[in-house]
Amino acid sequence: MDKYSVKCLQCGEVHDSYSLNCKKDDESLLRAYYASKQLIPTDMPGIWKYYNWLPVTGIIEDGSGRTITYKSENLALAIGLDDLWIAFNGYWPQKNAYLMTCTFKDLESFPTMQRLREQEDKRIMVVASAGNTARAFAHVCSITGQPLLLVVPKESVHRLWTLHDDNHSVCLVTVEGDYFDAIALAGKIASREGFVNEGGAKNIARRDGMGTVMLDAVLTSNELPAHYFQAVGSGTGGISAWEASMRLLEDGRFGNTLPKLHLGQSLPCAPLYSLWHDTDAVDAACPDGMYDDVLFNRKPPFAVKGGVKDALEATNGSIYAVSNKEASDAQELFENSEGIDINPAAAVAVATLIQAVKAGNVKSGEKIVLNITGGGQKCLMQDHELKQLHVSLAVSAKDEEAENKVIKTVAEKFGV
């Protein structure tokens, strides 16, 4: 029996294991269905502990980390909760946390890269990112040697660092524009011969990789939580938590109720909040003025079959909008309480939790999982030297020749 199958959520058709789209219905996500119906952890390193529920047939051992879940005492006390579990994604040696890019995007990049290796695909991978995803893919590609084209907004380039001395497999292009402009340019290039798109929310490896946050939290705390909190840009992390929760329900050992999703967005640029609440929470200047612009995506997978809307409806969840002051106060509270620095996006998740507690949306005795999607960078900088990625080309989103300029730069970089 195959380890897993891939089906369209709309028409139910079984697809090739490496498909990203249903040819009959492009408005639906595909989903992996695993032969193993119970969560059986392995003794493999890092994320591969959850190998049986990842859509891969091999592993990349070097550089792989995973989520570390622990029960909070100090933060829980500060906000009046009795059963708060923190799913930490980042660098924190005291907790055995070794995601070396300080972001849970590592959980996406390693399974995605493994699937590319399984296909013996030598094409140049194209990734558009506001920073964290790009850093994660640069990390894994520096390990494997897979050629990678990163397309990121110019304002995000400060996030593009690695710990590797050799980053010759990475070509970094910056775009004068926002994340959507980077996505648009990357999409054009990925459609060309010799390039391959990593797939974004459509890629089951990315979603199931992120889903291991829920797997780790439940395996550590022994049951599904009543509530799950995370800050989101596209909302794919929320979809992933929902899909993982459904598998855990089917397992039968961890409870019989789906966790409610509580997803946080950063004002003044909260498209998912606007879509869910049917209001306008997107400033014309977006993503300017955000606490963390990695949380901004102009076209999130909201209404597609299996998307954010379905996840929220299935879990009776909601989306929150967080001000910069709320996020800043939450970041200070978390760091003082738990003793580790966190990324601004994670601070939005903490602020979301605080909002929910104040609104009475969660009860003090309920089991809660808080996904800290990134943290420990200050800690990492004390132990390791961060190396900024070299920018190979800078283009404007308005430049009609931008695509050709990128193709030429990539050809020179990789000798193709």
Cβ atoms of 167 and 157 closer than 8 Å: no
Please tell me the predicted confidence (pLDDT) of residue 18. 92
Distance in angstroms (rounded) separating the CA atoms of residues 232 and 350: 12
Domain ranges of the chain: 68-103+204-380, 124-193+386-414
The token duo for 383 is 């132990």
Distance in angstroms (rounded) separating the CA atoms of residues 269 and 180: 13
**How does pLDDT run across 368-410, given as a tens digit for each residue?**
999 999 999 999 999 999 999 999 999 998 999 999 999 999 9
Cβ atoms of 266 and 348 closer than 8 Å: yes
Give the CA-trace dihedral at 71, 75, 78, 84, to 10 degrees.
-40
Domain 124-193+386-414 in the same topology as domain 68-103+204-380: yes
The token duo for 13 is 């058709």
Please tell me the predicted confidence (pLDDT) of residue 198. 86
Please tell me the predicted confidence (pLDDT) of residue 298. 84
Identify the CATH number of the domain defined by range 68-103+204-380.
3.40.50.1100
**Residues facing 262 on adjacent strands:** 229, 318
Please tell me the predicted confidence (pLDDT) of residue 1. 66
Distance in angstroms (rounded) separating the CA atoms of residues 75 and 79: 6
Please tell me the predicted confidence (pLDDT) of residue 113. 95
Gyration radius of the chain over CA positions: 20
Please tell me the predicted confidence (pLDDT) of residue 177. 84
Give the DSSP letter string of 94-156. GGTEE-TTSSTTHHHHHHHHHHHHHTT--SEEEEE-SSHHHHHHHHHHHHH---EEEEEEGGG
Identify the CATH number of the domain defined by range 124-193+386-414.
3.40.50.1100
Residues of the chain with pLDDT under 50: none
